[in-house]
């Protein structure tokens, strides 16, 4: 499923020009990480990067880590491709496909150092809560793909989702809350995202969670 949305001329041009260089076409098989990145390094995956500004900023700030962004929203992919090309980044690549299938099929178990999911769609209506990404099976999938000591960083500006995230993660024996049981991360180390800025303008609070996979 690709969300098309309206593309600006610059996004369309970036998709036409840069797709073959920076997008890894989805195949249901493990990625050849060695040929994707010039240097083996810590692997950081962001799911649902939206317009990609914060992912681009992280990849520019930490050139020694390798980043993969997963998104289905074409305008955001176009914008990010433009940024990757503009800054000549060799440590950031993009997959344009459903994150559940990508995680399941494109990454070996225990292969990712850090997974970020910042402001996943909140699905605020009670009858839509079941569409929320962060729950049961998906959390198990995230944990399987993380290396031991790997980190999982989530954020939301929707209080009931923050509580749901906290419950879902604290229910997993292999995950340890890095801020102490039941506690959110007050001063998260990450760039501000587009979706977060919009929420802040509407007066929303923000909750970040940081968990590590223990050796259990």
Ligand X SMILES: C[S@@+](CC[C@H](N)C(=O)[O-])C[C@H]1O[C@@H](n2cnc3c(N)ncnc32)[C@H](O)[C@@H]1O
Contact set with ligand X (CB under 6 A): 3, 47-50, 70-73, 76, 98-100, 118-121, 193-196
The residues annotated as belonging to the active site are: 121
Alpha helices in 88-193 (DSSP H): 99-106, 136-145, 159-170
Number of CB atoms found within 10 A of residue 36's CB: 14
Distance CA 216, CA 14 (A): 44
Distance CA 204, CA 193 (A): 13
- Closest to ligand X by CB, 13 vs 194, is 194
Considering only CA atoms, give the Rg of the chain. Answer: 17
- Closest to ligand X by CB, 169 vs 206, is 206
> Which residue carries 């076409």 as its tokens?
25
- Closest to ligand X by CB, 176 vs 204, is 204
Minimum CB separation from ligand X for residue 189, in Å? 15
Minimum CB separation from ligand X for residue 72, in Å? 5
Number of CB atoms found within 10 A of residue 32's CB: 9
Residue 213's nearest CA partner among 141, 135, 134 is: 141
- Closest to ligand X by CB, 46 vs 172, is 46
Alpha helices in the chain (DSSP H): 9-22, 33-36, 53-61, 74-87, 99-106, 136-145, 159-170, 194-201
Minimum CB separation from ligand X for residue 116, in Å? 8
Minimum CB separation from ligand X for residue 39, in Å? 26
- Closest to ligand X by CB, 43 vs 58, is 58
Distance CA 154, CA 132 (A): 13
Minimum CB separation from ligand X for residue 75, in Å? 9
């Amino acid at each position: 499923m690709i969300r098309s949305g309206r593309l600006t001329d610059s996004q369309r041009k970036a998709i036409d020009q840069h797709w073959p260089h920076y997008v890894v076409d989805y195949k249901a098989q493990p990625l050849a990480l060695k040929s994707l990145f010039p240097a083996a390094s810590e692997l950081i995956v962001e799911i649902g990067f939206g317009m990609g500004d914060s992912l681009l900023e992280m990849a520019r700030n930490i050139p020694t880590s390798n980043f993969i962004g997963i998104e289905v929203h074409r305008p955001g992919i176009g914008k990010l491709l433009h940024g990757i090309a503009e800054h000549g980044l060799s440590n950031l690549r993009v997959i344009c496909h459903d994150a559940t299938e990508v995680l399941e099929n494109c990454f070996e178990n225990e292969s990712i150092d850090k997974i970020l999911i910042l402001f996943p769609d909140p699905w605020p209506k009670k009858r839509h809560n079941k569409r929320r990404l962060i729950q049961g099976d998906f959390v198990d999938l995230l944990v399987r793909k993380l290396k031991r000591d790997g980190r999982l960083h989530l954020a939301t500006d929707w209080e009931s989702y923050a509580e749901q995230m906290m419950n879902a993660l604290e229910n997993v024996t292999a995950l340890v809350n890095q801020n102490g049981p039941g506690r959110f991360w007050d001063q998260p180390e990450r760039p501000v995202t587009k979706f977060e800025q919009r929420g802040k303008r509407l007066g929303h609070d923000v909750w970040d969670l940081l968990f590590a996979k223990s050796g259990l």
